[in-house]
Every structure is written in structure tokens, then in C-alpha cells.
Amino acid sequence: MASICINEKLTDDELRSILSKLENDKDKEIFGLVCKRWLGLQSNERKRLAARAGPHMLQKMAARFSRLIELDLSQSVSRSFYPGVTDSDLAVIADGFRCLKVLNLQNCKGISDKGMSSIGGGLSSLQSLNVSYCRKLTDKGLSTVAEGSQGLRSLHLDGCKFVTDEVLKALSKNCPNLEELGLQGCTSITDCGLADLVSGCRQIHFLDVNKCSNVGDSGVSTVSEACSSFLRTLKLMDCFRVGNKSILSLARFCKNLETLIIGGCRDISDDSIKSLATSCQGSLKNLRMDWCLNISNSSISFILTKCRNLEALDIGCCGEVTDAVFHGLGAMETEMRLKVLKISSCPKITVTGIGMLLDKCNSLEYLDVRSCPHMTKSGCDEVGLQFPDCCKVNFNGSLNEPDVLL
């Protein structure tokens, strides 16, 4: 009987169907080792790639992976890949990966506005760009991206210290579908820039302006009203101009807010937090308000009892908080869903208060009690405090912190 060659019987579409059913990355690589035909199909179907490569290798990759959608060239914070990604590399990417939708260049410190101009001119389908800590970038190059990639949905510019309100104007004018914007540490961003942003980008789900010291109540209030039904995550850490007006605006407009970071916003007080807890009691999951020194037992107790889906809470360095914040938990009809609680440097909280919490919360996974003199390991052992099996208790800083509240 004559032998049958599988390549003569199976069409390209049938082979693609086989490849699509392989879930393991290793199996997909083995598929490409069968023969040149299978390798070509595997290459054309590949959608994601993480690489370290210079212009010559990038050209070869572009020829092989012509339908690539996601490309990750990000570099480690601690170790830069020498010579790293350059403007010449970005020119190759813009010319060779025309289907690209996601590009990660985080910590690629060598690139400049020239490279961004290539991206803006060549990648019209780009939807997500991360150039965090690419410190040479300015408004000029990033505005070119906004003009050329008008379908942009996610943009991260954390640590790009030369970025100003001009970028936000360009985004507002050209990128109406923008949903996620990271501006952490962009200290030249102001309330006027945020107002310009949301005049055109009204679907913002995620906004990070941590450490943007020129952002205050006016900008936050404008964002909360313009993006009221969309906003899920707002990060305002160390924005010292942010106060009660911002929180009351969020309470009024943003009923679907899930994550709020206001650590270091020292002018925020109990009444505005209670309003927020009432408005967002079904949606709020993560709340960080360490160093909010005007916060007391009343608002924190209100949060714990009202926000039934709360999963992470940081009240570190709120020194006047006592065990009284847990007194109302016993009257709750349902179990708490809290997974992360950070109470470091809250010296008035004791094992008694934590015991009340644990009576109502079996889901706790991480508890930070550093610099709490009444919450020592030996003290917990003495009273027989029983933590959930999955819970890690950070007594002295020896445990890695979860990043949910960063």
C-alpha cells in the first residue's frame, strides 16, 4: 500500500485548526519543528512575542512573524540590556510589524522622540503602549503617537518627567477611545491638563496620577464628572492638593469606583469618606489611605461595615485608629471578603481588635502589623489568636507585600 504524506492531505486551514487547539507553548514550538511548511504556518499564527534583539534580528522577526499583535521589548529596572532598544529599532518595528496592537517599551531608556515619531507614523492599529521610565521622551514624540495611533486605548507614561499637559491635549483631540492612562510621577501635569483630557476622552476606566503634585481638587472633580459611569480605578497617592472636595465629587458621580488610592492626601477627613462608602458600597474593592491623618475610627468602621465587597484596605500611619473600628463587625449578617489589611504604625490597635476582625473574616490573606507594639507574634500566641491558614502576617517587614494597593 502506498504511503500517504500528511502534507498532501491536510490544507493550510486544517493545519491552522490543529495549531489553534494546542494550548501549551512548548507544543506550539514543537509543531513548527515538523517541517518548513509547518514552521511557516506557526510563525504566521504567532500573536505574542517577548524579545531582546537589535535591528537586524528585528527585521528577521518581522519577516517571520508578520501577523504579530503583541510585542514586549521591556527591560528590567535593575539591569539594562546593552545597548538596549534604540530609535533605529523602533523604525524597524514600525515598518515591519504593521498588525501590532500592543507594544511594551518600559524602561527602554535609550529611545527618544525620534523613535516615537516612527511608531506614530507606522503603527496606526496600535491600541496599547507602555513607555514608562523612558526618560528622554517629551510632548513632541508622544503627541505624534496620539495623532498616528488614534485607536489607542491604553497609554502608560509613568516616570516620563518631561511630559506636560500638551500630551493630554493631543490625546483628547485624537484618541476618544482611551480607557487607561498612567501618569505616575509626571509632575508637570496639572488640573487644566486633566480637564483638557476628559473633554475628549470620556471613557477613562483607569487613571494613575500618583505623585503628580500639581493635581488637586479641580482636576479630580472634572474627571469624576466627565467619566462618571466608566471610572473604576483612580490613583492619587501623595497628591497633597487633593482634599474632601475630590472625594465628595467621586461619591456623587462615580458609583462604580473599585480602587481608590489616596495615601498621603492628608486633608481628607471622615465625612467625605463616609459619603464615598455610602455611594460605592457595592463596588469599592481596594482602598488605600495611609497617612490620611484626619481619618478616625468612625469613617473606617463605616467602610468595613458598609462596603460589602471590600478586599484590600490600607490605613497605615493613621495613628488615632483604635480597636473600636472593629466593634460593629459583630452585627454584620454576612462574612467579610477582606483579603489584605495594612495597619502598620497604628499603635492603638491590639490583638483584641484583630480578634474581632477574624471572627467575621475567614478570607484574610495578608496582614501588615509592623510597628504595632500590641500586635507582636508572641502576643498573638499568648491569646491564641487564630489566623486563616492562607494568611501571612507581616510582623517585622520580612514578607513581600501584595501589589494590589500600589
Q: How many CA atoms lie within 13 A of 105 on its CB side?
A: 27
Residue 187 near residue 160, CB atoms below 8 Å? no
What pLDDT score does 83 carry? 64
β-sheet bridge partners, residue 297? none
Residue 401 per-residue DSSP state:
P
Q: How far apart are the first and last CA of the chain?
A: 67
In this prediction, residue 68 has a pLDDT band, given cuts at 50, 70 and 90, of very high
More confident residue, 51 or 353: 353
Give the mean pLDDT of 304-316: 97
Is 90 exceeded by the pLDDT of residue 346?
A: yes
Distance CA(298)–CA(321), nearest Å, equals 9
Is 70 exceeded by the pLDDT of residue 329?
A: yes
What pLDDT score does 43 carry? 55
Is 80 exceeded by the pLDDT of residue 8?
A: no
- Lowest mean pLDDT of 5-19, 209-223, 315-329, name the range: 5-19
Residue 249 near residue 223, CB atoms below 8 Å? no
Between the alpha carbon of residue 324 and those of residues 209, 276, 298, the distances in Å are 33, 21, 9
Nine-digit cell string for 20:
489553534
Give the mean pLDDT of 223-250: 98
> Other CB atoms closer than 10 Å to residue 14's CB: what's the count?
11
Q: How many CA atoms lie within 13 A of 360 on its CB side?
A: 18
Is 80 exceeded by the pLDDT of residue 95?
A: yes
Is 80 exceeded by the pLDDT of residue 82?
A: no
Distance CA(218)–CA(59), nearest Å, equals 48
pLDDT digit string, tens, across residues 38-67: 555 565 667 888 888 777 888 888 888 888
In this prediction, residue 5 has a pLDDT band, given cuts at 50, 70 and 90, of low
Give the mean pLDDT of 77-103: 85
Give the mean pLDDT of 11-19: 61
Residue 402 per-residue DSSP state:
P
What pLDDT score does 272 carry? 98
Q: Which of 329, 330, 328, 341 is nearest to 387 (CA)?
A: 341
> Other CB atoms closer than 10 Å to residue 36's CB: what's the count?
8
Distance CA(192)–CA(397), nearest Å, equals 40
Which backbone phi and psi does 339 adopt, to 5 degrees?
-110, -30
What pLDDT score does 87 carry? 94
In this prediction, residue 76 has a pLDDT band, given cuts at 50, 70 and 90, of confident
Distance CA(247)–CA(241), nearest Å, equals 12
pLDDT digit string, tens, across residues 122-145: 999 999 999 999 999 999 999 999
What pLDDT score does 349 carry? 97
More confident residue, 55 or 100: 100
Q: How many CA atoms lie within 13 A of 80 on its CB side?
A: 12
- Between the CA atoms of 60, 66, 67 and 68, what dihedral angle is there, to the nearest 10 degrees? 20
Helix (H, G, I), strand (E, B) or coil at 386: coil
What pLDDT score does 13 carry? 58
Is 80 exceeded by the pLDDT of residue 371?
A: yes
What pLDDT score does 275 carry? 98
Distance CA(94)–CA(120), nearest Å, equals 8
Distance CA(97)–CA(50), nearest Å, equals 14
Nine-digit cell string for 10:
491536510
Give the mean pLDDT of 328-354: 96
Distance CA(234)–CA(219), nearest Å, equals 12
Whole-number average pLDDT of the chain: 91
* Sign of the torsion angle spanned by Cα atoms 105, 109, 115, 121: positive
